[in-house]
Amino acid sequence: MTDQSEIRDHGEFFCASRPAGSPPVFTRDHVNPDIWHVLPNGDRSCSYCGSLHPDDFGRLLDRGLDPDDPVEIGPTAKGYKVYVSQPDVRNASEGGIIFYSWHDPERLFVDRVVAAAKVQRDRLAALMTGGDGGGGGS
């Protein structure tokens, strides 16, 4: 597998989720390696699996750790996938919405994802109890 520094430096790689020899999904070129597509909001996504670029996910993850920032990090029941909710991004054609752990082979983000999930849980608890001034009722 290609090392992450090479991915960041050169932009071409073979996504770890791609079986050896299979073509990229989002491009018609069946010969060249995968690339990072630049989305309308500036995020980059893998041309094979659609995952956010590790640097973009790290930036969004840092924002998700701030309880006052509207970016939300949502872990799933699947240990290899994390959802990202950004303001003004309704779907994957507008910006990154998902990160797959095979783009983090050193597992550098694990502790921060757990911390971001706690921020989201605390934010929801505050909303439900009216702790943010939102009233908690209808």
Rg (CA), the chain: 17
Domain locations in the chain?
A: 4-129
Average pLDDT of span 54-80: 91
Please name which of 59, 121, 63, 110 lies closest in space to residue 82, comparing C-alpha atoms. 110
Report the pLDDT averaged over residues 11-32: 66
Whether residue 92 contacts residue 45, with contact meaning beta carbons closer than 8 Å, is answered with yes
Choose the weakest-confidence range: 3-7, 50-54, 73-77, 127-131: 3-7
Residue 63 has pLDDT above 90, yes or no: yes
Does residue 96 carry a pLDDT above 70?
Answer: yes
Residue 129 has pLDDT above 70, yes or no: yes
CB crowding 107-133: b at 16 or more within 10 Å, else e: eebeebbeebbebbeebeeeeeeeeee
pLDDT at residue 41 in the model: 96
User: What pLDDT, on a 0 to 100 scale, did the predictor assign at position 34?
Assistant: 85
Task: Report the C-alpha gap between 87 and 101 in whole angstroms.
Answer: 23
pTM confidence score: 0.76
CA dist list (Å): 32 to 58, 103, 111, 124, 135:
27, 19, 34, 44, 55
Confidence class for position 10, pLDDT limits 50, 70, 90 = low
Q: What pLDDT sits at residue 14? A: 80
Higher model confidence: residue 28 or residue 35?
A: 35
Confidence band of 19 (pLDDT split at 50, 70, 90): confident
